[in-house]
């Protein structure tokens, strides 16, 4: 279960204390797309997301990672004006490592932000980077994600029973 445990748990990307991350030496933010940055119904980022990323890019290097296909990821990446990787193969890590190496990124300055234990948090564990879990924006998911959500509910319940999981706390 350790590979799924986030270092930080927040409601959404707007409630993350980015100043604190910067003080901890984080300079690179890897954002999941679906149900983290945008809902499945959205074809491009909302104005609120655009404004957040505009602010973040002043201090951080931001990337968008998704297991979704290019036609889904590219409009978000282009609108946010950040590098993006579709078919990231999370949680495997090899495509993401290659992507980060290509962009000359050191893993000790990286945080991953996502809404899934099985993909985003597990990838963060493999990369040994700071992991930030956010609640999914909606309950609508791809069918393939439903199995992961079922497992995640069991893991979350276990974390809560052990008092290992509380929104707004830092566990690193």
CATH number of the domain bearing residue 121: 3.40.50.1000
Q: Is residue 171 part of a domain?
A: no
Q: Is residue 127 part of a domain?
A: yes
Could you give the number of structural domains in the chain?
A: 1
String of DSSP letters for 54-75? HHHTTT-EEEEE-SS-HHHHHH
Reported as a single tens digit per residue, the pLDDT across 73-93 is 999 999 999 999 999 988 888
- What confidence score (pLDDT) does residue 80 get? 98
- The pair of three-digit structure tokens given for residue 58, joined into one six-digit string: 């002043």
Q: Is residue 133 part of a domain?
A: yes
Average pLDDT for 101-106: 91
Q: Is residue 52 part of a domain?
A: yes
Reported as a single tens digit per residue, the pLDDT across 9-24 is 899 999 999 999 999 9
Q: Is residue 104 part of a domain?
A: yes
């Amino acid at each position: 279960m350790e590979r799924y445990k986030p270092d930080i748990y927040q409601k959404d990307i707007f409630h993350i204390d980015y100043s604190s991350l910067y003080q901890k030496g984080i300079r690179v933010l890897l954002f999941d797309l679906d149900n983290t940055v945008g809902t499945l119904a959205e074809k491009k980022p909302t104005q609120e997301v655009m404004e957040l990323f505009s602010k973040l890019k002043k201090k951080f290097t931001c990337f968008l990672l998704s297991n979704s296909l290019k036609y889904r990821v590219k409009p978000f990446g282009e609108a946010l004006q950040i590098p993006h990787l579709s078919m990231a193969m999370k949680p495997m890590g090899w495509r993401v490592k290659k992507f980060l190496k290509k962009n000359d990124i050191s893993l000790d300055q990286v945080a991953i932000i996502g809404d899934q234990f099985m993909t985003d948090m597990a990838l963060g564990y493999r990369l040994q980077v700071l992991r930030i879990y956010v609640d999914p924006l909606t309950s609508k998911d791809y069918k393939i994600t439903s199995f992961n959500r079922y497992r995640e509910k069991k893991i979350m319940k276990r974390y809560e029973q052990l008092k290992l999981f509380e929104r707004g706390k830092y566990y690193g």
